[in-house]
């Protein structure tokens, strides 16, 4: 089953377009868990178990695992291979030249076994192709990111007046999505840009981070990103779910938060 088949099957089964980001910060985890690789594995595994029937995907961020060295990488691999149902989008923001990109693609899709990955398009088509050729895996291109500094480059005006992020979206639509496995990362903190991108790319899946701690508005995000009878959007939330409680009942609190967010997304749709 391809990533998109798995994703839409999970959306229908769980009635959910909520993606839970797994960004385990030891300083914010429950006090009874160790601040090491075993601790972040235990924490993330419990969150996944508690929310697997409420989400459409999980999105672990590699940085929080790589910070623990080889043990952290092992913890990430174990989490991905748990296979609780929802597909795994690896938030790695990869993008490099030639053989380096080939090695990154093998690491993401073969070694770790992720279903999808986030990619940085700055180096161009040849840096993306080693990932794109995996037609059964998802490739989410960074387009307009949720961080405040995204405007430094992504809003740059081209000679024809378009912002750079819109040119990236159109290139993803016309050049990179030949296998039908490309989506776009567009931050919920930029609803006007999100609406521009949706008009340009009505059929492409948008992964929208930035709800919650980053200040994105859920209703505005859904209105801007949804399109057609089958809304092509999934909404990523991390901290508001992960850190709903720091006690021993953290997983139950995460489940409650996830259910509330799932229902809020559905209400907005």
223: left (phi over 0), alpha (psi -120 to 50) or beta: alpha
The verdict on whether 93 is a catalytic residue reads yes
Segment 52-86, tens digit of pLDDT: 999 999 999 999 999 999 999 999 999 999 889 99
Q: Which residues contact 124 (CB under 8 A, 6 or more apart)?
A: none
Q: Which residues contact 180 (CB under 8 A, 6 or more apart)?
A: 4, 135
Q: Which of 82, 93, 223, 246 is catalytic?
A: 93
Architecture of the domain spanning 3-268:
Alpha-Beta Barrel (3.20)
Of 190, 112, 100, residue with least CA distance to 120: 100
Segment 112-121, tens digit of pLDDT: 999 999 999 9
pLDDT at residue number 155:
82
Neighbours of 67 (CB within 10 A): 13
Domain boundaries, the chain: 3-268
Mean pLDDT by 10 residues, the chain (269 residues): 95 97 96 96 98 98 97 97 94 93 97 97 96 98 90 89 95 97 93 91 92 73 73 92 95 98 93
């Amino acid at each position: 089953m391809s990533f998109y088949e798995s994703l839409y099957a999970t959306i229908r089964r769980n009635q959910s377009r909520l993606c839970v980001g797994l960004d385990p910060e030891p300083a914010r985890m429950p006090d009874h868990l160790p601040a090491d690789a075993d601790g972040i594995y235990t924490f993330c595994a419990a969150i996944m178990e508690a929310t697997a029937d409420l989400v459409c995907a999980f999105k672990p961020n590699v940085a929080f695992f790589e910070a623990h060295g080889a043990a952290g990488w092992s913890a990430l691999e174990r989490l991905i291979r748990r296979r609780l149902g929802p597909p795994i989008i690896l938030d790695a923001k990869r993008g490099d030249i030639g053989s380096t990109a080939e090695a990154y693609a093998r690491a993401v899709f073969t070694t770790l076994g992720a279903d999808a990955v986030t990619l940085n398009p700055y180096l161009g088509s040849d840096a993306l192709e080693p990932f794109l050729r995996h037609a059964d895996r998802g490739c989410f291109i960074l387009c307009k990111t949720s961080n405040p500094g995204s405007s430094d480059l992504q809003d740059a005006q081209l000679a024809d007046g378009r912002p750079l992020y819109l040119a990236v979206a159109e290139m993803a639509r016309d050049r990179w999505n030949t296998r039908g496995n490309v989506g776009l990362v567009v931050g919920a903190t930029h609803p006007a840009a999100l609406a521009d991108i949706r008009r340009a790319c009505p059929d492409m899946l948008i992964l929208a981070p930035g709800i919650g701690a980053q200040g994105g508005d859920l209703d505005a995000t859904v209105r801007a990103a949804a399109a057609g009878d089958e809304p092509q959007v999934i909404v990523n939330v991390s901290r508001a779910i992960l850190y709903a409680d720091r006690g021993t009942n953290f997983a139950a609190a995460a489940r409650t938060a996830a259910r509330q967010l799932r229902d809020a997304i559905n209400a907005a749709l």
